[in-house]
Structure formats: C-alpha cells, structure tokens
Chains A and B, each alone.
Chain A
C-alpha cells in the first residue's frame, strides 16, 4: 500500500510542481522534493527523482545544459553540510538552507550569464533569488504535511 501511496504522491508532486512553475516563473519548486528525500535518507527514490528534475528543469528552460546540475549539486552539498552542523528535520534548518540556496541562485545567474552571452540583470537575479529563498520553506512545509504516512521516517 505504501508503494502505491509513494508512487501516486511523487507523480502528483511532479505534475503540481510543473504547473506551479508556470504560475510563478524563475523558481525551482522541485527542489522541495529533493530536500524531502534527503531528509528521509531515501536515496533509492533520489536516484530517479534527481535526473528527472534535471531533465525537466533543463528541458523547460532556455539556458544551455549545466545550470540544473550545479543547482542540485549545491542543494545536496548545503544539505549535507547543514546536517553535519544542525538538526535537519525542522523548519529553521530548511529556512537556513533556502537562504543559502537563494544566494546560490544569484551566483548561478552571475556565473552562467556571460558563458551563454546573456546580459546579467542584477535586479532580475536578486528578485529570482529572493523568490526562491522565500518560496522553498513554504513548499517544503506543504510537502511535509501531505506525507503523513511517512512521519515515522521523518522523526528518525
């Protein structure tokens, strides 16, 4: 039964994530799912979700290939470093993580714009980074509340 719940939940997550990204541009909602899997130490599911997220984000974007790899690598590195220092299951940790990821988003804009010969717009980059930093904890909160059957895993 749990497998069915999991499959349906992840399918709904991807569909809702893509739909949400059409409403709020410049934001990566799928990162919320990656953080959930890292918190649950569910590396089996991470093996398919991470490539799926990279494919989707690169496919729907207009950057050259590579930005999504750097982004998700930063998510994993910051998460691992954060878990080494803090308790990784609470809102405060996710808030700190999202702040770091907001800065990473700005850094990626700055780094990749000249590589693709695009003008770097500071205001746009700041807006996108702030939006990412603010929305990620909210998305994480919604995702955690909808995964009630997995509560015992999160509490580990």
Chain B
C-alpha cells in the first residue's frame, strides 16, 4: 500500500468515525445499544459472582468469625434501650408535628418508594471516567435513569444510565454532580458540587450574610426536582466569606463513605402523594393541587 493510499484510507476512516460520533451525540442510539447489551452482559456476569461472594462472606461471619459476639450483643442491647428512650421522647414531637400540619393543611409528599439494591462494582474499565458505581437494578427492576440513591446515612447520587437489570449511578463526588441543598439549621440554600473522589465537596451560591457553621448538615432542598426534600447529604467542614466572590466559600464532606458502600436504597418516584385530610375523605391518588373546595352559596 502506498503512502497516499494509506493516508486516504486513514482520512476516510476518521471522517466516518467523526460522522458516527456526532450522529450518536444527536440520537444516542449507539449509547443506548451499548448500555442495553454491554451493561446488561456485565451485570449478568457480576450478579452471580457477587451473590457467590456474599454467600461466602455470610458463611464466614455467621459460623466462623464469632469472636467477641457476646460482648457486642450486650453492647447492642444497651444501645437499643437508649434508642427506645429517644424514640419515646420524639413521639410526642411527631404527634405535635402531625397536628400542626393538619391545622395549616400542609401537604405531606410521600411519593417515593424505597427499593434496595446491591452495589456490584465501582468504576469499571477504561471508559469509566466519571465517579460511579454499578448496581444490580435496571429500568425493569426500578432503577431508571435519574432515580436518586441513598443509604441510611445519606445521599449517594443518582442513576446515570440503565440496562434492563443493571445500572450505573453517578456519585455526588463527581464534578458533574450538582445538587440543590439547604443547611439544616440556618436554612441557607446553595448548590453542592463534587470535585472528584477523595476531595471535599464545594457549596456554591450561599449568601454572604448567612450564619453557616462548620459541622452543620446539608440536606437536599428538593428545588432541583431531582431529589426529594430532606435527605442528608454532607457535613460542612469549613465556611468563610469568599475572597473572590460575593458568596460564602464552603467545603463539605459526604456523610456516606462512598468508597465502601455495599448496598443502596433507590428512591423510586411513585407519582403518589398523601395529603393530610379528614379520615372520611376519599384518598387522593396522584400528585397535583388539592381538589377545589365545594363552594357553598
């Protein structure tokens, strides 16, 4: 092959590749195809392996590694007693909250269903450039793109792409992750942005005059429409007025140890919401404004 022919062929292939790349960016057909086939195949391989490893671990922890179990049991029983006490103390507050909500007719949105999922892997392969995890739920089993993920400790991220039975979730530490948050005590809104794994998060657009303190918890504000309101996300590490902008310079750390998560909870939107109503009223099924009151002459 002469040099001229080689260059012509290389140029032709490059044009073909660029054409395919831009066509895919518009249609996402090839991305969908690889997600549906490639990710599904990966999940099909990893799920049995994960299950096998889980059984092995269970066997070890349940029947072999039983050192200090008695002491741990005594300690846990004590903790249960303490928590029972705390629950009792909060029960009165909860009842009061319910009465007050009813009094001001504040709608209580409960349109999220919790679904458990197992983490199959972290970043996989050379093309995993974003901070992500792979889970064993796909669009058939409740893991649709956009579904938020959390653990009992706090928010993890949301699903980026999904095949039928597996999905890849973007973690909140990724620089592409932007979450609308609010500080738990001072109620100052802001946007939480990731800066990469092992680096602290950044909270942008918090007003200078707000009294934000280190150690305060950031919870989702729900204003972005991506996450339900009130999920704990991160703890503020440092807060001071910025030297360069008109906002506060705030750094935070995630509440969840994102490098060692094994299970997550998916918050599947059900499209349902319950409102505080009289017990005799028929239940409302769909999210939307409350029904108009009957006009009495």
Contact = CB atoms under 8 A, between A and B. Distances in A.
Interface of A: 14-15, 18-19, 21-22, 25-28, 54-71, 73, 105, 108-109, 113, 115-116, 118-119, 121, 128, 132
A9 B122 CA distance: 26
A12 to B, nearest CB: 11
Given A59-B39, A61-B127, 7 more contacts: A21-B125, A25-B124, A55-B41, A60-B134, A61-B128, A64-B24, A118-B175
Interface of B: 13, 17, 20-21, 24-25, 30-31, 33-42, 45-46, 49, 120-130, 132, 134, 160-161, 163, 168, 170, 175-176, 196
Given A64-B25, A119-B175, A59 B45 contact: no
A67 B38 contact: no
A71 B38 CA distance: 17
A65 B31 contact: yes
Nearest to A118: B129
A25 B46 contact: no
A57 B127 contact: yes
B67 to A, nearest CB: 28
Nearest to A131: B126
Given A22-B46, A22-B121, A55-B34, A132 B41 contact: no
Contacts, number: 120
Contacts of A108: 126
A48 to B, nearest CB: 13
A-B interface, 7 closest residue pairs, ranked by CB to CB distance from nearest: A59-B38, A61-B127, A58-B34, A22-B121, A59-B39, A65-B30, A25-B123
A60 B39 CA distance: 5
Contacts of B13: 73
B57 to A, nearest CB: 16
A56 B126 CA distance: 11
A72 to B, nearest CB: 11
B22 to A, nearest CB: 10
B126 A57 contact: yes
Nearest to B21: A66
A25 B132 CA distance: 11
A57 B24 contact: no
Contacts of A57: 38, 125-127
Nearest to A69: B17
A67 B17 CA distance: 10
B162 to A, nearest CB: 11
Contact of B42 (A18, A70, A121): A18
